[in-house]
Chains A and B, each alone.
Chain A
Amino acid sequence: MKHLLSAADVDRDEATAILDTATRMHAIQDREVKKLPPLRGRTIVNLFFEDSTRTRSSFEIAGKWLSADVINVSAKGSSVSKGESLRDTALTVAAMGVDALVVRHNASGAVQRIAGWVSGCSVRAVVNAGDGTHEHPTQALLDAYTLRNRLGDLEGRHVVIVGDITHSRVARSNVLLLHTLGARVTLVAPPTLLPSGVATWTCETSWDLDATLSGKAFGDVDAVMMLRVQRERMSGGYFATEREYAINYGLSPQRLDMLAEHVPVLHPGPMNRGLEISSVAADSPRSVVLDQVQAGVAVRMAVLYRLLAGAEEEVAV
């Protein structure tokens, strides 16, 4: 693993190694001294061209707990707002001798381009922290981590992902990673919010949430992941009204009751309460939303450790 640009970059062994490492990293959250030494002297730049609270702060905490120096650069207040190109910004930051870039950008594929441009600089690793509607691999890893803690081995488990699939980098990365880990995925969305080409993905798709959650359509459900309706990426016309969407695809208290005892409810956040998820579901004991946030730090520690701690030429794949 040189970069982490896509959930497809990790095979099953590497994914398992990251999740196992994350389990060990997780233990540090209960310690009085939250500091481990492996990235001492490494510099990580969080290059965020798009707003983010949890991803950016958890990457920052993860880097700092591993003793790296972490610098945040956001597009607002940087030279980007003066008209600097993406390539120039990336090369400028890379020229300062940093070891890793963690990049979020609102254009799909932007992070991949940056990884190409900075090869040959001091930058050892580029981590995709979300690029447009394409991928968000560390989110998929933290979801897998949360699921594994709840369900054990994910082999053969059935995960249902509901909502705005078209605009969701979370869904895309999750489908790839869950498939790698041996789980079965069903995507549920109105036809307008299923991306073209979804038939080639390693998953089932459905328009009928009730039939899927009850297990009638695709078999018993082991976990449900609700996605945020991304108003900022929608140019309108995907569904009639928000009320209609909530009725057809929201996780209402009634739908929550359809789920078996062991089924956790995930949401990558931020939640639109009353739209894709009811408050009853969001605050129920099944909800693992805050577990996901906690897992985010541990998983990102594991990713940064595996990318940056070892010798440069001999990084294990």
Chain B
Amino acid sequence: MTGHAPVLGDGDVARVIDRIAHQIIENTAKSGFDIALLGIPTRGVPLAHRLAARIALFADTTVPVGALDITLYRDDLRLRGVRPLGDTVEPEGGITGRTVVLVDDVLFSGRTIRAALDALNDLGRPRAVQLAVLVDRGHRELPIRADYVGKNLPTASAQSVRVRLTETDGVDCVELTGGAA
């Protein structure tokens, strides 16, 4: 029963995604939208698809979307039991020479993004890599920051941030749970 108030509700998530889409357009219009969105499974993938749909609507341009599974590149792979793999889907036209925008739901320690940068390296050589996240909850353990942040959410390390999306969980919301808040 402790602290179940949603940080972002149904409409908020959509508004935040719209804002990030506008920011991506603003930042990449100069390059003629030579970008690709790469979602990190599980929830980064539907987020990337939603962003692409909004960019298509606002800027009338098609942005290729892919998925990047980082399981095999995790630095804690051998600390835990073996994990199932997610899908890696290369965006149409590949990533070499393009600006790649990595999309994830929560930015926490930064280790996922470090793994994603390693994984990208094996797929090709992007011109630049940017990062878009729905929630930045702090507690970074690596020198990594996001270029597009939906919501900065100060948290205690004992708390957990739960992102739910319609595609994966049937509802859009972000909740902060647990800890002594």
By the criterion CB–CB under 8 Å, are A310 and B84 in contact?
Answer: no
By the criterion CB–CB under 8 Å, are B122 and A27 in contact?
Answer: no
Cβ contact of A311, chosen from B78, B123, B124, cutoff 8 A: B78
The interface residues of chain B lying within 8 Å CB-to-CB of A305 are 72, 82
B81 lies within 8 A of chain A by Cβ: yes
Using A27-B88, A31-B123, A37-B72 as known contacts, list a sample of 15 further A-B pairs with CB atoms less than 8 Å apart, ordered by residue number in A: A20-B84, A24-B85, A24-B88, A25-B85, A33-B123, A37-B73, A37-B118, A38-B72, A38-B77, A306-B82, A309-B72, A310-B77, A310-B78, A311-B79, A314-B81
By the criterion CB–CB under 8 Å, are A315 and B82 in contact?
Answer: yes
Q: How many residues of B contact A (CB 8 A)?
A: 19
Query: Distance in Å from the Cβ of B169 to the closest Cβ of chain A?
Result: 21
Query: Distance in Å from the Cβ of B128 to the closest Cβ of chain A?
Result: 20
Residues of A in contact with B, size category: 20 to 34
A316 lies within 8 A of chain B by Cβ: yes
B69 lies within 8 A of chain A by Cβ: yes
Chain A: CB-nearest residue to B124: A32
Interface of A is mostly: loop
The interface residues of chain B lying within 8 Å CB-to-CB of A37 are 72-73, 118
B4 lies within 8 A of chain A by Cβ: no
Using a CB–CB cutoff of 8 Å, the interface residues on chain B facing chain A are: 69, 72-73, 77-88, 118, 122-124
Q: List 24 A-B residue pairs with CB atoms under 8 Å apart, sorted by A's residue number.
A: A20-B84, A21-B84, A21-B85, A24-B85, A24-B86, A24-B87, A27-B88, A31-B122, A33-B122, A33-B123, A35-B122, A36-B72, A36-B122, A305-B82, A309-B72, A309-B77, A309-B78, A310-B81, A310-B82, A311-B78, A314-B81, A315-B81, A315-B82, A316-B82
Interface of B is mostly: loop
Query: Distance in Å from the Cβ of A281 to the closest Cβ of chain B?
Result: 35
Residue-wise, chain A 265-299 has the 8 Å CB interface mask toward B (1 for contact) of 00000000000000000000000000000000000
By the criterion CB–CB under 8 Å, are A311 and B80 in contact?
Answer: yes
The docked-state distance in angstroms from the alpha carbon of A33 to that of B87 is: 17
By the criterion CB–CB under 8 Å, are B122 and A24 in contact?
Answer: no
The interface residues of chain A lying within 8 Å CB-to-CB of B87 are 24
**CB neighbors of B among A1-44 (8 A):** 17, 20-21, 24-25, 27, 31-33, 35-38
Indicate the member of A31, A38, A315 with the most B CB atoms within 10 Å.
A38
Query: Distance in Å from the Cβ of B114 to the closest Cβ of chain A?
Result: 12
The docked-state distance in angstroms from the alpha carbon of A90 to that of B123 is: 39
Q: Given A24-B88, A35-B122, A36-B122, does the pair A310, B69 have CB atoms closer than 8 Å?
A: no
The interface residues of chain A lying within 8 Å CB-to-CB of B77 are 38, 309-310
